[in-house]
Each structure stands twice: as structure tokens, then as C-alpha cells.
Amino acid sequence: MNFQCRTCGYSWNLDVPFSAAQSVRCPLCNPRAMPPPPQPKAQSKTNLGRAILIGGGIAAAALILYKIVQANTDKEYCGRTLPQSVLDDLKEKHVAEHGCRCLRCGSRVRYDDLRGDHIVAYAKGGRTSIQNTQIICDECNQEKSDDVSWTDRIRGRGGRES
């Protein structure tokens, strides 16, 4: 441990446990000595690169964990459509949170005009699951193409085995 005397400024190294450091005295003038305050380290480019790599590793681990949780919690249903009871539950949840409003175009519609739609189209390998279903109006459902955004691919809404 490095020590510096408050009185004379003399610096010296001594191997003592931190608990005993309070009783260390200066070898020159004998008053109580205190360790110097720690100096902040400047982050070098290699440390910054290491931090970026670690951050990327954490992001990758988080994505893997998300995919594991999704695989264990998101039930995939057979065929192109969700069972009516599941679809009704999704519509009721949507209406409770957003009202009878289409989240794609923002228009107010009748409850009967709300549709369950694959976010990643079934034709493009999208799964028939709750995570891959959005509630939108009938008009948006009919005009929506089967294009898939990269965020939807990351979320894993695609990936149905063909």
C-alpha cells in the first residue's frame, strides 16, 4: 500500500492490511500517515474497445436469454390462424389498453373490424403465435404487405419451420 505523510510529504510503500493502515506512522517525522487519494485512471483506447466488446457480449447474452424465454413462453399454434378464444382474449386486451383504435393507422374502428394479423407474414415464415400477432383494423390488414422489418426478425417473430 502506498503512503504519504501529511506533514512532510514523504512517500513510501508498506505491505500492511487496510485495517492496520490507520496506525501507520511516518518513518521521518512520526505523525500518523494516510494513503494518498486514488487517482482516476484515464481510459485508453484498448480499454474502450474492451468495454465495447463486453457490452456487445452482454447484448448478445440478453438476446439469447430473450430467445430462450420466448421459446418457453410463446406457444405456437397449428395452421394460419389463432384459435378464436385466444384471438378474442388478444382483442379484449387491446381494447382495454388502446380502445377500439388501430395501432397501424391510428383510426377508431368498430370492435368487429379489429383483426388479428401476423406481424411476420405466415407466407414469409412467420409463426402463428401470440408474439407474432398484432391487432389492427380490417382495412390495414388487407393493404398490409408481407414485408418484414429487421426488428421483427430480431424479436424472433419469424422462423416458422417450413
Same domain, 90 and 161: yes
pLDDT digits (tens, 9 = 90+) for 29-86: 765 545 555 666 665 556 766 777 677 778 788 878 877 777 777 788 888 888 999 9
Domain match, 85 and 160 both? yes
pLDDT at 125 over 70: yes
Query: Which of 8-17, 54-63, 75-84, 146-155 is predicted with the least confidence, judged by mean pLDDT?
Result: 146-155
- Please check whether residues 156 and 104 belong to one and the same domain: yes
Kindly state whether residue 39 falls inside one of the protein's structural domains.
no
- Is the same domain home to 99 and 144? yes
- Cα 64 to Cα 161: distance, rounded to the nearest angstrom: 19
Flag whether 40 is in a domain. Answer: no
Which one, of 98, 147, 154, lies nearest residue 120 by Cα? Answer: 147
Q: Same domain for 57 and 90?
A: no
Range of 94's domain? 77-162
Considering its fold, how many domains does the chain have in total? 3
